[in-house]
Structure 1
Amino acid sequence: MGMLEKKTVRIECRSDRWRFVCPRGHRSWEPTNHHFWCASCARTDGVDGSFNELRDRKTGELHERERVRLVTPTGPYDRDLDGGTER
């Protein structure tokens, strides 16, 4: 039982979008190619819009992409990373 449970983030849920933010605190992130991209960061000079961790504003913890299960109303966002039937 050494497997850590993945943190489920419902990407189309307003409350999850307020809770889970990019490392700089923006809610304008999107999942892409097994990492994340933030439009607000990308518009800032000298800041890369790509990142690999979401910050949980409730706990302050950073969650790496491999430890996050992204779900949509129709199921997992990336089936190879987010597989399973959890909603």
Structure 2
Amino acid sequence: MSSVEIDAYDDADRWQWVCPQGHRSWEATNNHFWCKLCADLASQGEDVEPEFSELVNQSTRETFQRDEITIRDYRQKTA
């Protein structure tokens, strides 16, 4: 199984990842992802699911499941 790390506060790193609908407005939860634009579309009656379990790397078109992705905040110092 492959795994990746995404720096949540590095725009270049984060923005290469999109939801299955191609939006960059996703947020990670413990067990899945949620997309604000998908939620907005769903509330307007569109047939999209705002909660999903995978992200797509725009650069490589590879898809990774939530358990293969680690979200890091590299602004925080580690001891």
For CA contacts below 8 A with separation 6 or more, give which structure has more relative contact order.
2
Q: Any runs of at least 4 consecutive aligned residues in structure 1 with deviations exceeding 4 A, and if so which?
A: none
1:63-84 Cα deviation digits (max 9, x unpaired)? 0000111111238xxxxxxxxx
1:21 aligned partner:
18
Structure 1 stretches lacking a partner, 5+ long: 76-84
Sort the Cα spacing of 1:5 and 1:61 in 2 relative to 1 into closer, same or farther, 3 A: closer
1:66 aligned partner:
67
Structure 2 stretches lacking a partner, 5+ long: none
RMSD over aligned Cα atoms: 1.7
| Residue-pair matches, total | 73
1:47 aligned partner:
48
Q: TM-score, normalised by structure 2?
A: 0.81
Q: TM-score, normalised by structure 1?
A: 0.75
Shift of 1:5: 4.2
In the alignment, the residues of structure 2 paired with residue 11 and residue 72 of structure 1 have an alpha-carbon distance, to the nearest angstrom, of 6
